[in-house]
């Protein structure tokens, strides 16, 4: 159990590993979906191409959208792109880096689907069997053009009586499967060469810009997570204080039922410290609005400066008493 807990904590803290794992699962799911899919070509001239190309390209679009939806960084990137500048300027290089990484991960499963369908060849045979030239094949040379188109459209169907065990059907199938597999292997080779060049030519370019973009993209993701966790913690404490105030107002009724309540003032100061002074619904709403419109600048040296929301709050109740006491000896001495 400890080992699984450590693995879960690692994936929970490392968003890139989680996204890579999701991409791998989507790729495996695409292969499993295709192998378990019952491919049935309609074998009709007006529907073959639509069915074959639809099976080849519609599921990749669905997988691509699923990759974007499951990737948490896509929402973070959109929020960073659409947010008002406020006191923190937006870096387009970071947004481009996040967009490229999101697109690369989302394209894994669709590319795997397309390559698998091309290597299998059924989709291409169904889509383009009716577009073949009948003069290139012996069995279709002595029939009319309309009959030839109908016979070519029935090439993907092995159970058709007119095309069963005919050499012409086998020739068209081998021809289209050859082109389909050649196209699939070519796409795979191009992708591998592109990945190889991108991997080995990266050190030849400016690494400082890449490191900066990667660092601040991770920072934006981590900052959003910490802010959400802080909001959840504040909401829990806020709800706890509201419930305590509710029970405090019903103290007499609760005493009749023999419930034990904490003494007045117990844990009050600790709760106020944990709430960071944000103890009102309007203050919470204003805080969230200022986080969206005026994010703090990326300069921790300014952390000691008071936030505008803090400056608008009323002074502490004991501040006047302290100042009055400090001034009183002066009046007595006079």
Please state the rounded mean pLDDT for residues 309-319: 43
Q: Which one is predicted more confidently, 88 or 303?
A: 88
- Whether residue 108 has pLDDT greater than 60: yes
Who contacts 248 (Cβ-Cβ below 8 Å, separation ≥6)? 261, 264
- Whether residue 117 has pLDDT greater than 70: yes
The pTM assigned to this predicted structure is 0.70
Q: Which one is predicted more confidently, 298 or 96?
A: 96
Q: Which of 29-38, 163-172, 185-194, 319-328 has the highest mean pLDDT?
A: 185-194
Euclidean distance between CA atoms 233 and 286, whole angstroms:
18
pLDDT at position 16 is 67
Please state the rounded mean pLDDT for residues 181-185: 96
pLDDT at position 319 is 40
Euclidean distance between CA atoms 264 and 55, whole angstroms:
69
- The mean-pLDDT minimum among 64-73, 208-217, 268-277 falls in 268-277
pLDDT at position 127 is 94
Euclidean distance between CA atoms 11 and 19, whole angstroms:
9
CA dihedral sign, ordered 57, 59, 60, 61: positive
pLDDT at position 109 is 92
pLDDT at position 34 is 87
Percent of the chain having pLDDT more than 90? Answer: 20
Q: What are the tens digits of pLDDT across the range 118-173?
A: 999 999 999 999 888 887 877 676 777 788 888 888 888 877 766 676 788 888 89
Who contacts 55 (Cβ-Cβ below 8 Å, separation ≥6)? 37, 39, 117, 123, 126
pLDDT at position 30 is 86
pLDDT at position 256 is 58
> Structure tokens of 75?
């929402």
Average pLDDT, the chain: 77
- Whether residue 241 has pLDDT greater than 50: yes
Q: Which one is predicted more confidently, 223 or 287?
A: 223
Q: Which of 16-30, 119-133, 193-207, 297-311 has the highest mean pLDDT?
A: 119-133
Which band of pLDDT confidence, cut at 50, 70 and 90, is reported for residue 182?
Answer: very high
Which band of pLDDT confidence, cut at 50, 70 and 90, is reported for residue 250?
Answer: low
- Whether residue 324 has pLDDT greater than 60: no
Q: What are the tens digits of pLDDT across the range 276-310?
A: 667 677 877 887 788 777 777 777 665 445 444 44
pLDDT at position 331 is 41
Euclidean distance between CA atoms 183 and 127, whole angstroms:
15
Who contacts 111 (Cβ-Cβ below 8 Å, separation ≥6)? 60, 187, 191
């Amino acid at each position: 159990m400890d080992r699984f807990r450590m693995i879960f904590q690692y994936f929970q803290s490392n968003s890139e590993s989680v996204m890579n794992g999701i991409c791998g699962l989507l790729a495996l799911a695409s292969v499993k979906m295709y192998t378990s899919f019952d491919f049935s070509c309609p074998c009709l001239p007006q529907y073959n191409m639509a069915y074959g190309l639809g099976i080849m390209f519609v599921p990749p679009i669905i997988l691509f959208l699923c990759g974007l939806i499951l990737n948490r960084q896509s929402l973070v990137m959109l929020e960073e792109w659409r947010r008002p500048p406020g006191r923190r300027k937006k870096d387009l290089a970071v947004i481009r880096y996040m967009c490229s990484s999101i697109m690369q991960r989302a394209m894994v499963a669709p590319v795997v689907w397309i390559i698998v369908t091309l290597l299998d060849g059924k989709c291409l045979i169904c889509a383009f069997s009716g577009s073949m030239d009948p003069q290139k094949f012996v069995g279709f040379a002595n029939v009319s053009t309309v009959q030839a188109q109908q016979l070519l459209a029935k090439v993907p169907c092995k159970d058709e009586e007119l095309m069963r065990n005919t050499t012409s059907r086998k020739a068209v199938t081998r021809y289209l499967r050859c082109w389909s597999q050649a196209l699939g292997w070519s796409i795979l080779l191009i992708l591998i060469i592109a990945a190889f060049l991108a991997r080995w030519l990266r050190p030849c370019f400016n690494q400082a810009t890449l490191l900066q973009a990667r660092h601040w993209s991770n920072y934006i993701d981590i900052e959003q997570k910490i802010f959400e966790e802080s909001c959840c913690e504040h909401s829990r404490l806020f709800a706890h204080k509201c419930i305590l105030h509710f029970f405090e107002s019903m103290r007499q009724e609760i005493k009749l039922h023999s419930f034990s309540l904490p003494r007045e003032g117990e844990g009050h100061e600790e709760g106020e410290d944990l709430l960071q002074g944000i103890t009102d619904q309007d203050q919470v709403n204003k805080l969230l609005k200022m986080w969206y419109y005026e994010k703090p600048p990326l300069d921790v040296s300014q952390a000691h400066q008071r936030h505008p929301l803090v400056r608008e709050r009323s002074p502490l109740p004991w501040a006047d008493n302290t100042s009055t006491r400090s001034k009183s000896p002066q009046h007595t001495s006079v």
